[in-house]
A = this chain, B = another copy of it.
Amino acid sequence: MSLDYRVPLRDMRFVIDEWIGAPAWWRSVPVWEDLDSAMAQQVLEEAARFVVERIAPLNAAGDLEGCRFEGGEVTMPAGFREAYADFVAAGWPTLALDTDAGGQGLPQLLEVALQEMLAAANHAWLMSPGLTHGATACLMAHGSDALQRDWLPKVASGEWLTTMCLSEPQAGSDLSLLRARAMPEPERDAWRIQGSKIFISGGDHDLTDNIVHLVLARLPHSPAGTRGLSLFVVPKWIAGANGERVRNGVHCEGIEKKMGLKASPTCSMHFENALGWLVGEPHRGLASMFVMMNAARLQVAMQGVGHAQVAWQRAHAYAHERAQMRAVSAPANYEGEPGQAAPIAFHPAMRRILLDLRATVEGERAIGYWIGYWLDVAARHPEAQERQAAGQLASLLTPIAKAFFTANGFTAASNALQVFGGYGYIHEYGVEQTVRDSRVAMLYEGTNEIQGIDLLVRKVLGDGGEALRGLLAHVNGEATCCAASGDAVLHDVGARLQALVAEVQRVTGEIERGSMGDRELPYRVADDYLALLGWLLLAFAWARTLRIVLDAAANDPFYAEKRSTAQYFFAYPLAAFDHRLSLIEAGCRAPLPHAQHAFSD
């Protein structure tokens, strides 16, 4: 039995080529006219080789060794530095960066697949390069020519790593409470930053010979609240008066002891008169920062998929190896003795868990990659209207994917652990680390509750339902195709999907109307609403999958498994849609009491 991570290249190909049909679209885009399915596969195979050979083997060891903080400096676990150097040398950070900017110009869709692989292999290691794309996008969009000249090339290539310095002890979800200050430094045409930041991933490390911090701070006399925040580039090392390398006034003061991600240093940073350069307009720092955060949210969503994938693989492999108890039923081709203990994979309770995991992770992969595809359309489509619609769709889908996939990733890891019985609780089987590592993704880059509010209040109610109508049109289109099928199973799935869309429309209207006289209503139901759309998206993913595989070679086991997993999904897990709908209806109906006192004792 091997519990090593294997990259699901076959399923990735299925999603890219058949479920999305991306290669056909690539042919119509000038910069990608030479890109075809075979070449995309080659890229993913090469990525898979690198990830499996260089990154995955450091995962358990990094968790055991952790990061060291000594004399104000962080030392990463053994092997991390070398693996990172090779990652940069092989050009992986610039996979989807424009060729103009020195990148390889490949689709975001492939970048999303790479992110999934890295997260599945070694989430903690991925934390270090995790902000490269966001910082690159931020500097490209908002940095002055001088800033771009001095910092962009090495940030984009990954030669220097970056951080995002937002949180302060009193300000986590609420950035209006930030206190860090910036005072003018006219001599250097720059600013002096003063303040403390916490929870800074990669605030210090020994992977690169400089670290470029992107820091939110307030200018003097700036407005209160989030409109008074400005964004600064604050490097660890700067050029001195004579061009020599000088240490800037930014220091790591300690690293947190965390539940997981032990090989990723979470730093408390102190900025003491640190030299910094303004990015974008004064007081507009939050807008610049959001460029980073949106890119990061899709990455985090794919962490949820990666965790679910590796947890499912391990549980699946273990369940086929471990024999306990006689089975009530066995696969047709099983050759074991009926009186003997059977692989636990045959027991119904374990099959339920394994099928739940599979249905979740494969459905999420389709949706996650689909968002990557829409980002490509938003960037490359010749028509502005199509670009705008694609961007709107990606923006609507991102908070759903972030919160729904990460919650499922944690649950998937815990359910996979259950398959291992007592062994699951032991470090060496790997799955308990996945439970611990996956938990953070529900918290960072905006807690999952913040995503729920972003989705319902801002993106659904806030635009009068336009973005939602765009999404539902896609889902309904698929439903109509399925319902028109002569195949009875597919027809029923199509009808079911149409009914789900109708329910979403109905309950969205109910929320909208109810919110008029009850301002708290959308906040009561936002989490359940996000999950409702999450289940709708999985139903959409499996309906389209079922339609595709209906015509495929029936004797190819890959398609046969897709078919049985799709049918399982509609028979069992999708019941969660109705559960969420009930909770939303409860929220529309029932008030939510405030606590009246602290404790009853």
What's the Cα separation between A426 and B568 when bound, in Å? 38
Partner of A596, one of B11, B177, B331: B331
Which single member of B257, B313, B324, B341 contacts A426 (CB below 8 Å)?
B257
CA distance A324 to B168 in the complex (A): 12
Decide: B317 and A520 in contact? CB cutoff 8 A.
no
From residue A423, how far is it (CB to closest CB) to chain B in Å? 8
Q: Which segment, of A237-245, A275-283, A298-306, A523-531, faces chain B? A: A523-531
Smallest CB separation, A568 vs chain B (Å)? 6
Given the known interface contacts A324-B174, A576-B579, the answer about A601 and B425 at a Cβ–Cβ threshold of 8 Å is no
Main secondary structure of the interface of A (DSSP, over half): helix
Give Cα A437–Cα B138 distance, bound, in whole angstroms. Answer: 41
Minimum Cβ distance to chain B for residue A421 (Å): 5
Interface residue A330 (Cβ < 8 Å from any Cβ of B): yes
- Residues of A223-269 whose CB lies within 8 A of B: 256-260
Contact with B along A527-550 (1 / 0, CB 8 A): 100000000000000000000000
Cβ-neighbour of A594 out of B172, B331, B424 (below 8 A): B331
The 10 closest A-B CB pairs, nearest first, are A174-B324, A571-B590, A259-B432, A579-B579, A331-B594, A564-B593, A348-B523, A349-B449, A575-B582, A257-B427
**What B residues does A595 contact at CB under 8 A?**
316, 320, 331, 345, 351, 354, 561
- Using Cβ atoms and an 8 Å threshold, which residues of chain B touch A565? 593
Bound form: Cα–Cα A449–B344 in Å = 12
- Contacts A259-B436, A328-B519 supplied; 19 other A-B pairs, CB < 8 Å: A11-B601, A177-B341, A259-B426, A259-B427, A317-B598, A332-B594, A348-B523, A349-B523, A351-B593, A355-B592, A414-B439, A418-B449, A421-B447, A422-B444, A424-B443, A561-B596, A564-B593, A565-B593, A572-B586
In this assembly, does A292 line the interface, its C-beta being within 8 Å of a C-beta of chain B?
no
A442 at the interface (CB under 8 A from B): yes
In the bound assembly, the distance between CA atoms of A486 and B563 in angstroms comes to 54
In the complex formed, the residue of B with least CB distance to A433 is B259
How many Å from the CB of A399 to the closest CB on chain B? 14
Given contacts A257-B428, A354-B595, A426-B258, contact A418 B442 (CB under 8 A): yes
Q: For residue A586, which residues in chain B have a CB less than 8 angstroms away from its CB? A: 571-572, 575
A600 within 8 A of B: yes
**Is the CB–CB distance between A432 and B258 below 8 Å?**
yes
Q: A173 contacts the other chain (Cβ, under 8 Å)?
A: yes
Contact B572 A583 (CB under 8 A): yes
> Smallest CB–CB gap between A264 and chain B, Å?
11
When distances are taken between beta carbons in the complex, the residues of chain B under 8 Å from A593 are: 351, 355, 564-565, 567-568
Which residue of B is nearest A324, CB measured?
Answer: B174
A325 touches B575 (CB 8 A): no
The A9-34 residues at the B interface (CB cut-off 8 A) are 9-11, 14
A375 CB within 8 Å of chain B? no
Q: Are B601 and A6 in contact (CB under 8 A)?
A: yes
Most buried by B among A167, A355, A440, A595: A595
Tell me the complex Cα distance, A567–B256, Å. 40
Within 8 Å of chain B (Cβ to Cβ): is A338?
A: no
In the complex with contacts A436-B259, A597-B557, A527-B325 CB distance below 8 A? no
Of B6, B14, B258, B590, which contacts A425 at CB under 8 A? B258
Check: A222 CB closer than 8 A to any chain B CB: no
Chain B contacts for A436, CB-based, 8 A: 259, 436
Contact mask for chain A residues 417-461; partner B; CB cutoff 8 A; 1 contact, 0 none: 110011111111000100110011011100111001100000000
Is B424's CB under 8 angstroms from A560's CB?
Answer: no
List the B side residues contacting A11 at CB < 8 Å: 600-601
| Most chain B CB within a 10 A radius of its CB, from A177, A354, A439, A601 | A601
Q: Answer whether residue A113 sits at the interface, using C-beta atoms and an 8 A cutoff.
A: no
Find out whether the CB atom of A347 lies under 8 angstroms from the CB atom of B523: yes
Residues B601 and A524 in contact, CB atoms below 8 Å apart: no
Whether B418 contacts A601 by the Cβ 8 Å rule is no
Write out the residue numbers on chain B whose beta carbons fall within 8 Å of the beta carbon of A320: 595, 598
Q: A590-B571, A592-B568, A593-B564 are in contact. Are A599 and B8 (CB under 8 A)?
A: yes
The 11 listed contacts between A and B (C-beta, < 8 Å) are: A14-B600, A172-B324, A345-B595, A349-B453, A349-B523, A418-B448, A421-B447, A435-B439, A557-B596, A557-B597, A571-B589
> Is the pair A592, B557 in contact by a Cβ cutoff of 8 Å?
no
Interface centre among A199, A352, A590 (most CB of B within 10 A): A352
Which of A418, A519, A567 has the most chain B CB atoms inside 10 A of its CB? A418
Residue of B nearest to A173 (CB): B324
Instruction: Evaluate whether A575 and B571 lie within 8 angstroms (CB atoms) in the complex, with A325-B174, A595-B354 already known.
Output: no
